[in-house]
Amino acid sequence: MSTKKFNPKLIMIDVDGTLVDSVPDLAYCVDELMVIMGREKWGEAKVRHWVGNGVPKLVERSLTGELEGEVNQDDFDKAYPVFLDLYAANTSGRSCLYDGVKEGLAHLKSQGYTVGCVTNKAEQFTHPLLKDLSIFDEFEIVISGDTLEKKKPDPLPLLHAAKHFGIDPKEALMLGDSISDVKASRAAGFDIICMSYGYNHGIDIRHSNPDLVIDSMVELKDYL
C-alpha cells in the first residue's frame, strides 16, 4: 500500500472507465451500427478496448477494426450520424456505476472537497448519463468533450477547471483511468490517481506511471 498522501483543493473526475462502466451501451450501439452498415458485429469484449477517446474515434475504430486504422471518409460520414442517433437513444440503459463510486463521492462531499467532472464524451451524452445514474448533482462543474476547443489528453479542460475555481493546478488532483488522463494531468500540473479497472486499450495503467493506482473509489479516504 502506498504511503503517498494528497491534499488537493480541487478533484476532477473522469466518467467512462472511472465512474461509469458505459461499455455495454457503447458496444450495443457499435453492433447495431455494424448491422445497419451490413457488417459483422464486434461484440462487447472488442469494443471495450476501443473506448476512451470520444465517440468519433470509437466510430472510426468500429469501421476499421483497429485502434489507429485509416478510416474511409465516406463510410465515416455515413456511420457517424447513425451512431449519434443510436447512442442518444441508448446512453444509460445498460451502463452502471462501478462499485465504490457512490461511497467515494459521498466521502469527498463530506470532507468539503471541490469536485468536478471532466470527460471526452460530448455534453449531449454526458449530462443525461450522469443524471440517469443520479450523480450529476455531485459535481460543481462538468466539462464535456465539446465544452472547450480541446479535450484530454490536452491539459486545457483541467486548466480551465482550476482557473474557474481560482485554484493553483499544483493543488489539484485528477481521478481517471487512461493514459489520456495521465497525459492531461502531467501537462496541467495536476496530481493523478488512476483506477485499476478502467479503459486503457487493454494496457495496465501502471505502465503510464500515475501517482497512484487504486481498485475502488472507497480507497480515496486512505490517501487524501
Grid cell, residue 77, equals 460520414
Question: Which of the residues 14, 21, 31, 177 is marked catalytic?
Answer: 14
How far is residue 168's CA from residue 158's CA, in Å, rounded to a whole number? Answer: 11
Any idea which residue has 471541490 for its cell?
A: 114
Taking the complete model, does pTM exceed 0.85, yes or no? yes
Residue in 30, 20, 19, 13 with CA at minimum distance from that of residue 95: 20
Determine the pLDDT at residue 1.
55
Determine the pLDDT at residue 2.
63
Residue 16 β-bridge partners: 20
Grid cell, residue 214, equals 487504486
Determine the pLDDT at residue 52.
83
How far does the chain reach from its first CA to its final CA, in angstroms? 14
133 phi and psi, to 5 degrees? Answer: -95, 10
Residue 214: which H helix or E strand, with range?
A: strand 212-214
224 residues of the chain, pLDDT tens digit each: 566 899 999 999 999 999 999 999 999 999 999 999 999 999 999 999 999 888 999 999 999 999 999 999 999 999 999 999 999 999 999 999 999 999 999 999 999 999 999 999 999 999 999 999 999 999 999 999 999 999 999 999 999 999 999 999 999 999 999 999 999 999 999 999 999 999 998 899 999 999 999 999 999 999 99
Q: Is there a catalytic annotation at residue 14?
A: yes
